[in-house]
Amino acid sequence: MRLRTVGEVAELTGVTVRALAHYDDIGLLSPSERTAAGYRLYSDADLLRLHAIANWRDMGFGLSDIATMLDDRDDDVSTALKQQRERLLDRADRLGMMIDALDAAIDAHDRGMTMNDDTVIEIFDGFNPAEHEEEARERWGDTDAYAESRHRTSAYSAEDWKRFRQQNQENLDDFIAMMKAGSPPDSPEAQEAARRHGALIDEWFYPITPKIHLGLAESYVTDPRFEATYEKAATGLARYIRNAIIALHD
């Protein structure tokens, strides 16, 4: 059995010596053997586990979640890697469709054309901003707001949508980080994220009132379309955002 030192593993994999030491300290990846002097020695099985850890990290999972997935299971690391492969193939398919949609959007933008709804949906990987407008119109009958949103979005370019997606994702990432850190929805930082959530809608789609914001918040846990969007990003996120928005306007 070939054993590698921590330095060799770091050089081969790109994972830093410091990270390997941390993984060992928390029990996520302990080397199979050690030298008489206590230096870590990694086996091929250890490298497979490290590869699985790196893949899960790249998918956005935290170390504690990765430890649970790797250890609280009846199958082995090889099975975990096969599952990761399936997820990566699914992601590759989605990315391919998004690239095609972006090519179409770029072409439309260069020719001065407006993107169609299908292109917008593909770029946003299933998230259609128009659903927010429709929800506002159907639930609250705010036709002026709906007309304003249609007026704004009809003029948006591919670059505009890209900027919105980046800002929206940053807001979601903040919510996810707070939720995973255990910050309650009524904490100051969560309410600030809720305020930015409303500001994004106000800036990009239609004037947001407390009534509309609260109505949207409730729909995140009652409407399968909205709930699926947020739950896809993180389990429990839909309810966390909803509660943060309620706390903001309480």
Domain final residue, candidates 51, 72, 93: 72
Answer whether residue 162 shows pLDDT above 70.
yes
* Angle formed at CA 58 by CA 201 and CA 49, multiple of 5 degrees: 150
Q: HSE-up of 169 (CA within 13 Å, CB side)?
A: 9
Radius of gyration from C-alpha coordinates of the chain = 23
Whether residues 37 and 140 fall in one domain: no
Whether residues 132 and 238 fall in one domain: yes
Whether residues 23 and 132 fall in one domain: no
Judge whether 105 lies within some domain. Answer: no
Name which of 188, 186, 249 is nearest 217 in CA terms. 249
Q: What is the CATH number of the domain that holds 30?
A: 1.10.1660.10
Answer whether residue 92 shows pLDDT above 60.
yes
3-state secondary structure of 127: coil
Name which of 175, 206, 166 is nearest 193 in CA terms. 175
Chain segment 217-238, per-residue pLDDT in tens:
888 888 777 788 788 888 999 9
Judge whether 226 lies within some domain. Answer: yes
* 51-64: average pLDDT: 77
3-state secondary structure of 4: strand
Q: Are 210 and 137 contacting, i.e. CB atoms less than 8 angstroms apart?
A: no
Judge whether 117 lies within some domain. Answer: no
Judge whether 96 lies within some domain. Answer: no
Residue 72: per-residue pLDDT? 63
Whether residues 164 and 233 fall in one domain: yes
Domain final residue, candidates 42, 72, 102: 72
Q: What is the CATH number of the domain that holds 174?
A: 1.10.490.50
Chain segment 203-212, per-residue pLDDT in tens:
988 888 898 8
Judge whether 79 lies within some domain. Answer: no
Whether residues 223 and 136 fall in one domain: yes
Chain CA centroid to CA 100, Å: 21
Residue 186: per-residue pLDDT? 93
* 24-33: average pLDDT: 93
Judge whether 80 lies within some domain. Answer: no
Whole-number percent of the chain with pLDDT over 90: 26
Task: Assign 3-class secondary structure to 210-235.
Answer: HHHHHHHHHHHHHCHHHHHHHHHHCC
Whether residues 229 and 160 fall in one domain: yes
Judge whether 140 lies within some domain. Answer: yes
Whether residues 37 and 133 fall in one domain: no
What total of structural domains would you count in the chain? 2
Look up the domain containing 156 and give its range. 127-249
Instruction: Please provide residue 118's backbone torsions phi and psi, each rounded to the nearest 5 degrees.
Output: -65, -40
Answer whether residue 53 shows pLDDT above 50.
yes
- What are the DSSP E strand ranges found in 39-169? 40-42
Judge whether 111 lies within some domain. Answer: no
For the chain, the average pLDDT equals 78
Whether residues 132 and 242 fall in one domain: yes
